[in-house]
Structure 1
Amino acid sequence: MFKHLIDQLHDLVDLHGFPPPPPPIPTVPPSLHHHRWCFLNLENGLFENDCDNILMKADKSRTTQKKQKQTENDGSNESLKEEIWKYFPEELYETVIARLPIATFFRFRSVCQNWNSLLKSKTFTLQCAQFIPPQPWFYLKTHENINSGAMYDPVFKKWHHVDIPKMPTNLMILPAASVGGLLCFHDDGHRKLYVCNPLTNSFKELPARSGKVWPRVAVGMITNKQSNMGGYQIILVATNGEYEVYDSTINRWTGVGSLPDCINLPLSFYFRFQTVAANGLMYILRSDPHGIVSFDIDSRVWKQYLVPPPPHSRDHTLVECGGKIMMVGLVTKNAASCVSVWELQKMTLLWKEVDRMPNVMCLEFYGKHVKLFCLGNSGLIMLSFESERMNRLVTYDVSNKEWLKVPEPFKSPELRTDRGTAFQPFKSPQLRIARGAAFHPSLTATA
């Protein structure tokens, strides 16, 4: 029966000349057309171009509607934003601005007179005191430009050159210590000392000392916790055991004395030695015999700890991280040199290695006589490697155990301060550091 029906259909087609039926519509996966709808013209059949034209018109209409709505929303948002910022509390401006990066703050001060006068605002000072910068900056003086300083911002990896207007230019003034946002400088004979904030140019020349000239002196700076007025204290210790203490709250030298008999004299400091402060104590690294000398700033008590150095190590520098006393130095075996980081164990008074520079970075020193000089403060260390044909700077984050090369100094933009002084890019392709100090940049620290 089915075959007979098909034969009749063929006869009808041959008799009346009906056109053949249209080919079947191919099925296309929905993903290829992105879920588009195609419309079938029942009179003329299916035309893909018509589908595309219809879709294009539909897309244009939707786009036009979106643009109209966006324009209406933008207009309403503009008026809405004006209404919001019109009633924004003034005290919140200071809260936000106090947490801006230092370089951003100096750029924002040109917005209006109120923002320009923030450094003189007591409420802004309180806001800044509640916020501690994530990482310290480094202030350096190089052999190439000993009378001018360079600052490195490790957060934005930028170099800045800065001149301190009130600093004497007829003497060689070197940075020696820091506390918070303040730096302590001294001349060659340590006859005169200066304290300043390199960002705001707050400057003070300390009163005259006892007049003694010490060829080699360790300089420490620590917060004055005994005084309700805050402030800071500066300690000078000579190799012969004599020392003096300056108190900023009374602006004079208060302590002049000698180290107790329990301290081995003379003190032999490491070349370009660094002092660190932790938990109210000042620490100095000494050699011959190797160890650490500590000074309690409140009780005026000196102590000595004989700690042997790690084997095959040299060029040691003390650093502090979270109240822990640590040391950085070069370990040399045969022709290979590597940088190691040790932590002082309180129970055993021994150095325990906690990290080492990656081998890829150490390969650059192979076969070279490298000198290491370090600056450290609050968990961040800058290492300077010097040899006859190489000068390299590297930063080390103690907490994250991260080693990073410091970028070339001549690629940094300009940073302008409040008095119009420009922090120019530091342009010295060979950085041979003479002296330096790490400090926490502060907009409100006063000398």
Structure 2
Amino acid sequence: MERSDKPDTRISLKRKSPECDDDPLSNSFSLDDLPEDLFERVLSRLPTSTFFHLISVSKRWRSVAFSASFKLACSLVPSRNPWFLMVSPNLNQSVIYESAENSWKRLNYPNLLLEDSNRSCMPVASSGGLICYRKLSGDFIVCNPLTKSCKDLPPLHITPQNQSLNAIVMSATFTSYKIVLIHGELPNLSFMVYDSNSVSGCWKDETALRKKVDDSFPESDSTHDNVAYFVSKAGYVVASGMQLERSPFKQYSSIITNKDGQEVVYFLSSFGTIVACNLTNKCFSEYPRLLPVFCEYSIDVVECNGEMLVVVLSESLESESLRVWKYDEANQHWHQIAAMPPAMSNEWYGKKADINCVGAGGRIFICLNSSDLYTYVLYDLASKTWVELPRCSINGEIMEFKSAFSFEPRIEASV
């Protein structure tokens, strides 16, 4: 074999041995030989979980983790594989599913969430590298689950007529975030916003939303029928003469999108319809029903790649169906974009499972629960593949989770 005249410029992650010092053909060197800025850029590209294992390598590696320049290098990484914070029925576990490694991991709670008065905090929204928790008092805590940094948001001052809370959504960058609340009963809706960049440091005053009257959506009949349609505690849309309280794990199912400068919040109403609240134009619309009113089904709304999608679990002709839908704005109707193979979903028939879903980039994470069933499914929109995830075992005990919140593991996300 002919010898190349080009030098070998490969970088080895191993420290070179002394006997190689006199070898002019050896250009290998360790990461510790890199200048500080390049060293930080290399570490910033490591998977987050790997980096946390490696900070014990040396004092230099550990000091990098707390430097402002390293956090800046991390912020230049456009995206990271999502982690999913799992929510257990009694809220006493902090477990994440790491999608890149297909594994479950324990995640210690921040000190602020361990205080006696906050032990019943429930995660209600997430975005970027942050998670928003709601206290029993109704106030909120924003947290970076990796760095354990937390911030108590100022108390809410809500007018009595708008005590009903429909949606809690969050949008975040590395340096700022917004929390949006949708209050009221249809058709009297309003919203409040907390902006971490606000000079006042307070919630903005409530802003009323008017009902949008145009041809964008067919007129919804949910508020005009003699029969009310509600999402039951099991997550099913049911026809009845009265409304029932929704499951706590589906209570604030909502998402936010930003397209063409329009911020829109979508949530599930107590009538089983999907409501779109345009915060930019201060108006709202109801989407047409996805399935006939006499059907029972579990439904949830997710955001994937900046778009609103709907996941539906329904029974028909002695079979169970799990499908993903998108609204066709041009033709004003729902369009099915994915369906789980019957071989995977039919085993759930008759078990009246509830679904709680969350979107993360081009993936949908689905928790299915009933009295005798709990399982977790990940759907990838790009590859169109469905994967049933392994059960989570902690200290030999199989864990059950009701829902999940997605976040990017980013140490640079600030509260």
The reply to whether TM is greater than 0.5 is yes
Distance 2:318 2:289 in 1: 24
Alignment-derived partner of residue 244 in structure 1: 192
Alignment-derived partner of residue 209 in structure 2: 259
Alignment-derived partner of residue 438 in structure 1: 406
Q: 1:300 to 1:173 in 2, by over 3 A?
A: farther
What stretches of structure 2 of length at least 5 have no aligned partner? 1-16, 214-221, 236-245
CA contact (8 A) 2:179 2:195 kept: yes
CA contact (8 A) 2:319 2:349 kept: yes
More helix by share: 1
2:370 to 362, 379, 387: 387
Alignment-derived partner of residue 20 in structure 2: 76
CA contact (8 A) 1:377 1:438 kept: yes
Opposite residue 183 of structure 2, the aligned amino acid is A
CA contact (8 A) 1:239 1:268 kept: no
The Cα shift of 1:252 comes to 1.3
1:108 to 49, 54, 69: 54
CA contact (8 A) 2:320 2:342 kept: no
CA contact (8 A) 2:125 2:133 kept: yes
What stretches of structure 1 of length at least 5 have no aligned partner? 1-72, 411-424
Aligned pairs, how many?
352
1:128 to 50, 69, 74: 74
Distance 2:206 2:55 in 1: 44
CA contact (8 A) 1:181 1:440 kept: yes
Does 2:158 match 1:175?
no
Does 2:93 match 1:155?
no
Query: 1:207-248: CA deviations, max 9, x gaps?
Result: 111056845431011247xxxx95111111124324321111
Which structure has more relative contact order (CA 8 Å, sep 6+)? It is 1
The Cα shift of 1:197 comes to 0.4
Q: Residue 259 of structure 1 aligns to a residue in which SS? A: strand
2:168 to 197, 205, 219: 219
CA contact (8 A) 2:300 2:355 kept: no
The Cα shift of 1:393 comes to 1.0
The Cα shift of 1:427 comes to 6.0
Task: Kindly report the root-mean-square deviation, in angstroms, between the aligned alpha carbons of the 2 structures.
Answer: 3.0
Does 2:36 match 1:90?
yes
Q: Percent identity?
A: 25
Alignment-derived partner of residue 429 in structure 1: 398
CA contact (8 A) 1:174 1:185 kept: yes
Opposite residue 429 of structure 1, the aligned amino acid is I
TM-score (structure 2 length as normaliser): 0.76
Q: 1:346 to 1:313 in 2, by over 3 A?
A: farther
2:330 to 344, 347, 350: 347
Alignment-derived partner of residue 207 in structure 1: 154
CA contact (8 A) 2:312 2:323 kept: yes
Q: 1:87 to 1:155 in 2, by over 3 A?
A: closer
Alignment-derived partner of residue 310 in structure 1: 291
The Cα shift of 1:436 comes to 3.4
State which drifts further: 256-265 or 344-353.
256-265
TM-score (structure 1 length as normaliser): 0.71
